[in-house]
């Protein structure tokens, strides 16, 4: 009888030990979860957390942890389930997560997406499913606010970093997933898959297993099921932890360099809109290549299309063009964008980049004109009137007076042609229009748009820049020809 008593006491004692271990494990997991959230301020001022709930162990554990966080800190938690419709089990998984959430007393919304339609448009199944999920999440954030919690864990992070390394990536890619990116948070990035499974076992959380996770035709699955286990077994038992620790250091370096690039961008930019960005070229050329690369990529990211399809080769070519010293050169980029370098300005824009068609020349028949009458030619108006010495000259930059009696022949309004020249003092020497534009550092993209008043190949007026001094009004002038350009801005 006494033996039976002591045996029963041992059983009770053993159960108490297990319970203590259970509560300690759950308490440790909860503390680790809270510390990570607080370290990266994942909640911020948000009062609602939308947990992306697939039904797998990772997201089910995340939901459970957030429910406890909800009770502790008073935030609202709900679940979002995206139904991809790719597998027969999808309907059962949707029903399972809905029933699970009902049992917990929280809202679970299911969103159906058509992955196969997106695949038909040229995307892979993985890419299409991911893009459609984020479309759902983005819409919820925009309409309801709050933050979306994703269940990526430490092993997922290691897979991502290694995949980016194998395909060739920048520091941003080698830094892996961010704990927080906008309204998206990843509270489990320092938790291993093994820890998640243990948590689900201790809490008796039922979860679904996606059989497609074991198909090695998908690159990520091959990394998870074959490559990482082999590296872990043969090279480094703590591979995932070490990879993620390195990624964390890379993220810090990347953040520092990105801050430098933001500062450099703001210093160099002279104009920006959703369609066009202009930088001071000298400021860009003075940057170290590491920072310049980031400034140019920041510019690409701000235009429609972002960094999609922008490769390292594109960025290298952009940097080379900026630092080449060449003017009037341009390069086309994906998503209908173009980088153009002029003397002192680098322009990145998008839109129609067809060659500008030069306007047809306009003939001006001076012999048919009479005094005081006004004659209109497109954006120009012309009139003749007698000159009196006390007459005050016009001070408007786009109104010019010339000595009518010095003009032998009819005038034309056109853009530049080969052989054009203009006369300056002293001695009214000739200067080629091409050389004048080069000396004045007029951007090559602008030169063919500047209207000019010409007599044969002699330029009377480069509109917006200067006049030919051989035709200026003097005390001997009898008749003035006044030419007014209606567009006041300099070309």
Known binding residues for ATP = 54-59
Measure the CA angle with vertex 414, ends 413 and 416; round to 5°: 135
The rounded Cα 246 to chain-centroid distance in angstroms is: 26
Collapsing DSSP states into helix, strand and coil, what is residue 277?
Answer: strand
Residues annotated within the binding site are 54-59
Which helix H or strand E contains 32, and what residues bound it? helix 2-39
Q: Could you tell me which of 295, 301, 487, 479 has the C-alpha nearest to residue 381?
A: 487
Quick check: 144 and 182 in contact, CB under 8 A? no
Name 421's bridge partners: 432, 458
Question: What does the chain come to in residues?
Answer: 491
Distance CA 411, CA 451 (A): 13
Instruction: Report the side by side order of strands in the sheet with 180-181.
Output: 108-112, 76-83, 48-52, 147-149, 184-185, 180-181
Using the CB atoms, write b or e for 92-127: b if 16+ within 10 Å. ebbebbbebbeeeebebeebebebeebbeeebebee
* Residue 158 half-sphere exposure toward CB, CA atoms < 13 A: 25
Distance CA 208, CA 210 (A): 6
In 289-372, the DSSP E strands lie at 329-333, 337-341, 345-350, 362-364
Quick check: 187 and 126 in contact, CB under 8 A? no
Distance CA 133, CA 152 (A): 14
Quick check: 253 and 171 in contact, CB under 8 A? yes
Quick check: 266 and 302 in contact, CB under 8 A? no
3-state secondary structure 76-123: EEEEEEEECCCCCCHHHHHHHHHHHHHHHCCCEEEEECCHHHHHHCCC
């Amino acid at each position: 009888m006494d033996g039976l008593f002591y045996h029963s006491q041992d059983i009770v004692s053993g159960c108490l030990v297990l319970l203590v271990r259970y509560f300690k494990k759950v308490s440790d997991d909860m503390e680790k979860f809270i510390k990570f959230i607080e370290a990266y301020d994942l909640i911020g001022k948000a009062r609602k957390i939308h947990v992306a709930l697939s039904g797998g162990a990772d997201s089910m554990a995340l939901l459970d942890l957030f429910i406890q966080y909800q009770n502790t800190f008073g935030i609202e938690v709900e679940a979002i389930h995206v139904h991809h419709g790719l597998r027969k089990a999808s309907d059962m998984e949707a029903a399972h997560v809905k029933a699970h959430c009902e049992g917990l007393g929280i809202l679970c919304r299911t969103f159906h997406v058509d992955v196969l339609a997106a695949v038909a448009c040229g995307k892979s199944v993985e890419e299409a499913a991911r893009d459609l999920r984020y479309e759902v999440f983005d819409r919820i954030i925009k309409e309801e606010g709050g933050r979306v919690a994703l269940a990526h864990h430490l092993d997922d992070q290691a897979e991502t970093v290694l995949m980016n390394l194998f395909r060739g990536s920048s520091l941003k890619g080698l830094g892996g997933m961010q704990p927080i990116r906008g309204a998206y948070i990843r509270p489990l990035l320092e938790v291993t898959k093994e820890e998640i499974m243990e948590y689900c076992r201790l809490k008796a959380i039922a979860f679904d297993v996606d059989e497609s996770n074991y198909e090695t035709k998908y690159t990520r699955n091959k990394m998870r099921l074959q490559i990482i286990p082999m590296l872990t077994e043969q090279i480094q038992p703590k591979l995932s932890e070490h990879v993620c620790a390195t990624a964390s250091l890379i993220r810090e370096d990347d953040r520092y360099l990105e801050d430098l690039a933001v500062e450099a961008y703001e210093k160099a930019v002279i104009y920006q809109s959703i369609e066009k960005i202009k930088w001071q070229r000298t400021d860009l050329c003075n940057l170290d290549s590491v920072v310049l690369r980031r400034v140019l990529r920041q510019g690409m990211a701000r235009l429609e299309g972002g960094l999609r399809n922008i490769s390292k080769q594109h960025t290298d070519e952009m940097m080379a063009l900026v630092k080449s010293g060449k003017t009037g050169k341009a390069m086309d980029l994906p998503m209908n964008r173009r980088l153009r370098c002029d003397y002192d300005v680098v322009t990145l824009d998008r839109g129609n980049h067809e060659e500008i068609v030069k306007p047809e020349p306009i003939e001006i028949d001076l012999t048919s004109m009479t005094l005081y009458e006004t004659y209109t030619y497109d954006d120009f108006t012309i009139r003749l009137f007698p000159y009196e010495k006390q007459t005050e000259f016009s001070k408007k930059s786009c109104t010019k007076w010339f000595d009518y009696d010095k003009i032998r022949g009819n005038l034309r309004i056109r853009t530049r042609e080969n052989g054009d020249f203009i006369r300056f003092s002293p001695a009214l020497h000739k200067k080629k229009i091409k050389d004048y534009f080069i000396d004045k550092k007029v951007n090559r993209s602008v030169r063919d748009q500047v209207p000019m008043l010409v007599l044969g190949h002699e330029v009377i007026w480069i509109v917006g820049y200067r006049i030919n001094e051989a035709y200026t009004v003097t005390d001997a002038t009898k008749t003035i020809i006044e030419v007014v350009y209606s567009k006041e801005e300099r070309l």
